[in-house]
Structure 1
Amino acid sequence: MSTDGLPVVAIVGRPNVGKSTLFNGLTRTRNALVADLPGVTRDRIYGRAELQARPVLLIDTGGLEAAGDDVGTGRERQTRLAVAEADLVVLLTDARAGVVPADAEIAAWLRTLDKPLVHAVNKIDGLDEDAVLAESLTLGIHPYCLISASHRRGLDHLSGVISGGLPKAAEEAEAAPVEGIHLALIGRPNTGKSTLLNRFLGEERALATPVAGTTRDPIHARVERDGQKFHLVDTAGMRRRPGSHEGIERFSTIKAMQAMERAGVVVLMMDSTEGITDQDARLAGHVVEAGRGLVLALNKWDGLGESQRKTVLIEVGERLQFARHAPVVTLSALHGSGLGELTGAVVHVHRRASTDLPTPALTRALRAAVEAHPPPGGKGGSAKLRYAHAGGLFPTRVVIHGNRTAQLPTQYRRYLINAFRRAFDLTGVAVELVLKDSDNPYAGRRNTLTPRQLQKRKRLRSFTRKNRRRG
């Protein structure tokens, strides 16, 4: 179970009941592979979700069934490990198939665990809900929700039930205030995170070996460099490979993501000798989704030739295009080269991410962006953007008021975000737009006429009727 304040929710059930579809619906992503074939998901998939404005880590699992081969055995083991990590478990069943013996076996096992449970009944479209509910109650798991994950029906209600069912300890656990910059080091195994931590500290605090996966649990350390205090967290390497969460490694990914969630700035360590991998891109995406400051660190830079260095920098621009706002630092953690540049980048990103942006300056930047490139037209006319103000930090939220703001296309919203980044030097800072339509101050209000106005209206109506009869 989580101990770092960010609750963990696992989705379990038989194959092909819609677990991946529900995972994608709650995280609002397409990270989980969805198909009509049972058993598509084999490994655990982690994602961040906002359930009733409460952040949680969501785990999509493979289906539980009688294993007929080694893949099935591994899939069931992965699911049971996910349940062990979870603060709350969602049992998902298929309303069209009804309650089958496998559902009853899974429910019986879940009831033996000391964990909050929620029963979600999926695929209810076109069915008699009373009949579905009556059959589902036989599993004995409460509370329950009737949903259609593919059509997002009932997901808001399910989100509320999950949020309300999480233990208070997971919700209220808060770490003591940390003085200085809370910095998390994340990356794939053997990219040099522990070596960088030791270089920061000037001592071998973390075991650093050429063997991938040496670090199992997050290592916390405090250090001061050039008058700036840092609270560093070296996390276990996060990899995406079947069998990578076995034994004592089973908590590595979840603890690393929790450490990232609590940090102000995250340094994504990448092995430049291996290039930019899919897992590097996934980890960068997690940081951006969490709204944390991001610095991209290309380690083992001293082992590359000039042409290889150019190739890696091109890969960074192409494969991490969504993170172009993050500064890129090249270094050698082993020899200490580039450490000063990395420290400077972290300090700058944290300073800009912690700065409250004034309303007058935000409004001027908004008007300048609109004048340079007005919003495109749509049904009923183009959007009118009037003023902007700050709405929070980590991520830096900019609230824009206007009319028909929902018509703004994604491309134009991205343009506005980039305009704010340039105006306020928000390098490495996650920026989120919140669009609000201005309320009509006279909506719902009735104008009360004076006696003189009523008499005038009466004479006008009488005059109009006479003219019509004459015509």
Structure 2
Amino acid sequence: MLPVVAIVGRPNVGKSTLFNALTRTRDALVADMPGVTRDRQYGISRVGKNPCLLVDTGGLVSNAEGIDYLTAQQVHQAIEESELVLFVVSARDGLMAEDKEIASLLRKSSSQVVMVANKIDGLDEETAVADFASLGMGDLLPVAATHRRGLDSMMRRVEQLLPEAPEAEEEETTDRLRLAIVGRPNVGKSTLVNRLLGEERVLAFDQPGTTRDTISTMMERDGQEYELIDTAGVRRRSRVTEVVEKFSTIKALQAIERAHVVVLMLDANEGLTDQDTTLLGHVLTQGRALVIALNKWDGLDPDHRKRIRSDMDRKLTYVDWAQRVTLSALHGSGIQELMKAVQVAWKSALKDFSTPELTRVLTAAFDAHQPPMKHGRTAKLRYAHSGGKLPPRIIIHGSRTDTIPDSYRRYLVNRFIKHFKLKGTPVFIDFRDSDNPYKNRKNVLSRRQLEKRKRLKKFTGRKSRK
């Protein structure tokens, strides 16, 4: 499971800038005014060779009576849910009263804390961080998140403190299928789990957010062992008010990372919403096999069903490899089709590819449509081989592969998917430039060649004088 690292600090110390720098995105809204980040942002960062889930929290501001009850709850929840806390202060502003109150809360916990002094650019480091030593938080790491200065040494420190990632067990990828059921609140996830299990194992109630934790349950169906992972619904940020529900999003993202196949449940009455699209993006980022389930289908009239199907076709062109299933978790219709789609996606994600067959498909695709020229030259693709499973990864060797655009990469992906009849799994392609052994080697002439060149020079010299 992904370790969680929370970024904590008062407003306007650069938490969101640090978040964007570490995740290499611009997902967190950044502005030079306090309180811009009103809710948590989540992103994947990398600590050494291992990924981690990074949480950008809203600023913690004290009031006349100190940090209020809700804010204190948020800090305690962040500490409880995270393996490590990055406590960010501003070297430019110096030590503030809010910094002292946050440090006091962190000192009372058993959580590991790394103190980071941001906005160090243009300042004398020793002078700028001297005041913060009084907080007693240990070594302070100076960084300038805007310019990425000091981030490498900070992440090396984080790597030392985080627990080592456990080695993946090979038998888990072939025996027990880990199936995550994710979606917005009240789309019927727990009802589906109960239908699959045949009992009221998971609390289900017609109110958003009744499932608060990630719940794993073992089951067997048609000879296949499953580990069902039911998560709390992912809610619109403006509607997330309770601290526990804020961290339920972390559990959903961890469930996606843990799963082999993800069932993304949608409410057929509402169609595809912005929250569904965001969650789908996390599934694609993790490269998980995917089945899209349209629940509550039985309550729609034919015209509504036609509109929903048309809307899905228009909005989901970028995941046309994923199977879509209509069902009613409450009444049990469509469950058999859903589990068949899960099995197909699972088998596609585990499919073996031989190097000769991959190379034949690559050659046929290249002959039918070559990549566009750049600077008068085009890339050459020579051969392909398998690079892994879950999801399938194909390594393509050639020359000038850095000039290949994303559109041509998608073209190759579609050719491989079509040829191997893959359903329900993404396919990733990595390009590798083949090494030229003569690239940096100078041509050394033999004695005979040197004498011949001397005679030619002598001859051309006489000719020019005439």
**Which of 68, 74, 77 lines up with 1:78 in the alignment?**
74
The one-letter amino acid of 2:14's match is G
CA 1:373/1:93 → structure 2, altered by over 3 Å: closer, same or farther? farther
**1:309 counterpart letter in structure 2:** R
Q: How does 1:45-444 map to 2 (within 5 A)?
A: 45-67=41-63, 77-127=73-123, 141=137, 145-168=141-164, 171-172=165-166, 178=172, 179-242=175-238, 244=240, 246=242, 248-249=244-245, 251-379=247-375, 381-444=377-440
Q: Distance in 1 between matches of 2:308 and 2:358?
A: 36
- Cα distance, 1:285 vs structure 2: 1.1
Q: Give the SS at the match of 1:58.
A: strand
Offset of 1:392 from its aligned partner? 1.7
Aligned counterpart in structure 2 of residue 35 of structure 1, from 25, 31, 34: 31
Q: CA separation in 1, counterparts of 2:463 and 2:123?
A: 58
Matching residue's letter, 1:295: V
Structure 2 distance, partners of 1:34, 1:317, is 34
Query: 1:26, 1:51 within 8 Å by CA — same for their partners in 2?
Result: no
Query: In 1, distance between residues paired with 2:61 and 2:201?
Result: 44
Q: How does 1:2-17 map to 2 (within 5 A)?
A: 5-17=1-13
Letter in 2 for 1:343: M
User: For the Cα contact (< 8 Å) 1:117–1:143, is it kept in 2?
Assistant: no
Map Cα deviations across residues 112-149 of structure 1 (whole Å, 9 max, x no partner): 43233334443445555666566776765556554443
- Conserved? CA contact 2:73–2:243, under 8 Å: no
Distance in structure 2 (CA, Å) of the matches to 1:383 and 1:6: 38
Name the Cα RMSD after superposition: 3.3
Cα distance in 1, alignment partners of residues 9 and 243 from structure 2: 23
CA distance in 1 between counterparts of 2:13 and 2:189 reads 39
In structure 2, distance between residues paired with 1:270 and 1:60: 27
CA distance in 1, matches of 2:461, 2:59: 79
Displacement after TM superposition at 1:349 (Å): 0.4
Whether the 8 Å contact between 2:348 and 2:423 is mirrored in structure 1 is yes
Secondary structure of the residue aligned to 1:48 is: strand
How far apart are residue 233 of structure 1 and its match?
1.6
Which sections of structure 2, spanning at least 5 residues, go unmatched? Answer: none
Q: Check 1:408–1:56 CA distance in 2 against 1; reply closer, same or farther (3 A cut).
A: same
Residue 436 of structure 1 aligns with an amino acid whose one-letter code is: R
Distance 1:141 1:371 in 2: 62
Q: Given that residues 46 and 59 in structure 1 are in contact (C-alpha distance below 8 angstroms), is that contact kept between their aligned partners in structure 2?
A: yes
Deviation at 1:404, TM superposition (A): 2.1
- Residues 78-111 of structure 1: per-residue CA shift (max 9 Å, x gap): 3542233111112233344445444454345434
Q: Percent identical across equivalent pairs?
A: 51
Question: Structure 2: which amino acid aligns with 1:39?
Answer: G
Partner of 1:172, secondary structure, is coil
* Deviation of 1:7 (Å): 0.4
Letter of the 1:349 counterpart: A
Q: Is the 8 A contact 1:65 1:76 kept in 2?
A: no
2:40, 2:246 within 8 Å by CA — same for their partners in 1? no
Change (3 A) 1:153 1:309: farther
Counterpart residue identity of residue 204, structure 2: A
Q: C-alpha separation between the residues in 2 aligned to 1:320 and 1:77? A: 39
Aligned positions, number: 464
**Which stretches in structure 1 are left out of the alignment for 5+ residues?**
none
TM-score if structure 1 supplies the norm length? 0.86
Greater Cα offset, 418-427 or 156-165 = 156-165
Q: What letter is aligned with 1:273?
A: N
Do the aligned residues in 2 keep the contact of 1:221 with 1:231 (CA within 8 Å)?
yes
Amino acid aligned to 2:166: E
Bigger shift: residues 442-451 or 347-356: 442-451
> What amino acid maps onto 2:102 in structure 1?
I
Deviations 1:226-282 (A, max 9, x none): 333322122222213346363554543222322221111010111111222211111
- One-letter amino acid of the structure 2 residue matched with residue 35 of structure 1: A
Between the aligned partners of 1:413 and 1:148, the Cα distance in structure 2 is: 36
Contact 1:264–1:394, Cα closer than 8 Å, also in 2 = yes
C-alpha contact 1:215 1:235 (8 A) present in aligned 2: yes
**Amino acid of the structure 2 residue aligned with 1:116:** Q
CA distance in 1, matches of 2:220, 2:97: 59
Q: Structure 1 CA distance, aligned partners of 2:448 and 2:113?
A: 67
State the secondary structure of the residue aligned to 1:433: strand
1:296–1:328 CA contact under 8 A, matched in 2: yes
Distance between the aligned counterparts of 1:319 and 1:19, measured in 2?
Answer: 33
Does the CA-based 8 Å contact 2:256-2:262 persist in structure 1? yes
Q: Deviations over 1:416-454 (max 9, x none)?
A: 222222222232212222222222213455666666666
TM-score by length of 2: 0.87
